Amino acid sequence: MKTAARVFALLTILSLVLAACVAPVAAPAAPAEVAAPAEAAPAEAAPAEGAAAAVPAPAGKNGMPVVGLVMKSLANEFFKTMEEGAVAYQQGRGDFTLIPVGMNSETDIDTQISAVENFIVQDVDLICLAPADSVGLVAPAKKAIDAGITVVNFDVKLDDKALTEAGLQDLVFVGPDNEEGAYLAGVALAEALGEGGKVVIIEGNPGADNATMRKNGFVRAAEEFGLEVLESTTAHWETEEANTLMTNLITKYPDMQGVMAANDSMALGVVKAIEAAGLTGQIQVVGFDNIGAVQELIKEGKMLATIDQFGPMLATMCVETGFRMINGEDITGWSKTPVQLVTAETLK
């Protein structure tokens, strides 16, 4: 099977599994059990290329429906992989047009705003939006909805207060329980270090809801298992910034034993700083995303764990949710996607 067909087949299976186990839940306030996708079925058992799609594509305004996929930095392997997965999914189905858009840096909110504006001008059928800033992208989302475009928020939740003020309190969100995912990573670190372990938290971009949630999850694990948090500070999701920050933190806290990085891009910078200081093996690192580069570090023993949040599936779930809405289903609230701890053991 060709790679695209294989990815499509796998995503189709994951979608079917999720359609069964992921129901929209009313409020993000009370997270239910987070399930990992059940047994990944072997790709060979997947439906053949061209098989019926899980959710039928709706009629588009001008023929085939057009989907605008708004992501964040494509320099981040997480979004690169997401884009590839979404493109493979679109090619496997062939019944809609996909326009993926990314940014050059994690904080380039203006590019995202203009991407949404462009999609409004193009009058696309659906916008899947992973906002770089949870408040800043509410107004463009509202403008798109007012223009008759279906909008599904995914990956990073838009801010509840800003949504309510815009009258969009029911806007659907497709994404993981970031607090729970970070908690799982924190527990893995706590188990490795034992009570009293000294750690730092490297936070994501403070304007993004998932950055806040991940920090909260790390802190919960630290409190529950008696880790001492020396400092919690941001590197805005970026590798280079995390590298510089970590270099300084190593000097500031010579007794540091662990790092909780809110995404894998930052974990890469952290591990580089640890190597440069000759401290490999003495400071344990956990991340979030399960990018390929981090899987290698985990296998080499340079990182302890990460959290898989199944990036390509986030995008395809977003598209399918939007299709169902355009097809007439009334979907609101949180469609929860899975998170799963990844360690050297699980990568075997």
Which residue, 243 or 265, is less far from ligand ALL as judged by CB? 265
Among 112, 210, 321, 337, binds ligand ALL (CB under 6 A): 210
Radius of gyration of the CA atoms of the chain, in A = 20
Least Cβ distance, residue 194 to ligand ALL (angstroms): 28
The verdict on 310 binding ligand ALL (CB under 6 A) reads no
The verdict on 288 binding ligand ALL (CB under 6 A) reads yes
Least Cβ distance, residue 132 to ligand ALL (angstroms): 7
Bridge-partner residues for 342, per DSSP? Answer: 306
Which residue, 92 or 204, is less far from ligand ALL as judged by CB? 204
Backbone angles phi and psi of 164, in degrees to 5: -60, -45
Phi-psi region of 22 (alpha: psi -120 to 50; beta: other; left: phi over 0): beta
Q: 3-class SS at 232?
A: strand
Least Cβ distance, residue 273 to ligand ALL (angstroms): 18
Site map (CB under 6 A) of ligand ALL, residues 56-95, x = contact: ----------------xx--x-x-----------------
Tokens in use for 294?
């981090």
User: Concatenated DSSP letters for 182-209?
Assistant: HHHHHHHHHHHH-TT-EEEEEE--TTSH
Separation of alpha carbons 71 and 104, rounded Å: 10
**Residues from 231 through 260 that contact ligand ALL (CB under 6 A):** 237
Q: How many residues bind ligand ALL (CB under 6 A)?
A: 14
DSSP 93: H
Least Cβ distance, residue 310 to ligand ALL (angstroms): 11
Among 112, 239, 265, 335, binds ligand ALL (CB under 6 A): 265
Separation of alpha carbons 317 and 117, rounded Å: 23
Contact between residue 153 and residue 127 where contact means Cβ atoms under 8 Å apart: no
Q: 3-class SS at 240?
A: helix
Among 12, 46, 86, 106, binds ligand ALL (CB under 6 A): 106
The verdict on 263 binding ligand ALL (CB under 6 A) reads yes
Least Cβ distance, residue 50 to ligand ALL (angstroms): 32
The verdict on 183 binding ligand ALL (CB under 6 A) reads no
Least Cβ distance, residue 121 to ligand ALL (angstroms): 25
Contact between residue 72 and residue 130 where contact means Cβ atoms under 8 Å apart: yes
Closest CA to 181 of 306, 270, 332: 306
Which residue, 8 or 237, is less far from ligand ALL as judged by CB? 237
Provide the binding-site residues for ligand ALL, judged by CB under 6 A.
72-73, 76, 78, 106, 130, 155-156, 210, 237, 263, 265, 288-289
